[in-house]
Amino acid sequence: MLDNMKMLGALAGLMKNKDKVQEAARRTRAKLESTRVVGEAGGGAARAVVRGTMMVERVELSPALLTGMAADERTRELAAGLIAQAVNAGLVQARQRLHEAINAEAKELGLEGVVPDLANFMGP
């Protein structure tokens, strides 16, 4: 009950400080747009660079992996799996950065503990 009252008070304060909230959103967006993380698989044979906005910027494949992809179907399937693993690893890191950025802004606005844990919504 007390937590709900605290949250309602914080939300009422936000309504009065609309400009402050918009500035926090702008800062968070800018931080995420400039964030880049790298997910790797196969000891670096496949790498995915992911933006904080959850967009894959590029996928890098080692020369050895590329050579192997031309060899046979089994190797191509392995390479595809490594690419997927690298992209997923990058997305996990990007989600973590998103969570950190939102929590930092929420704390700045006096909403610490009010913003839900994004990890619960987005999976591992």
Q: For the segment 3-61, what is each residue's pLDDT rounded down to a tens digit?
A: 666 666 666 666 677 787 788 888 888 999 999 999 999 999 999 999 999 999 999 99
State both tokens at 96: 């973590």
- Look up the pTM and report it: 0.72
pLDDT, position 70: 77
pLDDT tens digits, residue range 19-35? 877 888 888 889 999 99
What is the residue-averaged pLDDT of the chain?
82
Give start and end residues of each alpha helix (H) in 1-124: 2-16, 18-34, 63-69, 73-108, 118-122
pLDDT band at residue 107, thresholds of 50, 70 and 90? confident
E runs forming strands in the chain: 36-41, 46-51, 56-61
State both tokens at 38: 């790298």
Residue (of 20, 99, 17, 22) closest to 54 by Cα position = 99
The answer, yes or no, to whether residue 124 has pLDDT greater than 80, is: no
Name the superfamily (CATH) of residues 34-118.
Nucleoid-associated protein YbaB-like domain (3.30.1310.10)
Residue (of 72, 68, 29, 26) closest to 45 by Cα position = 68
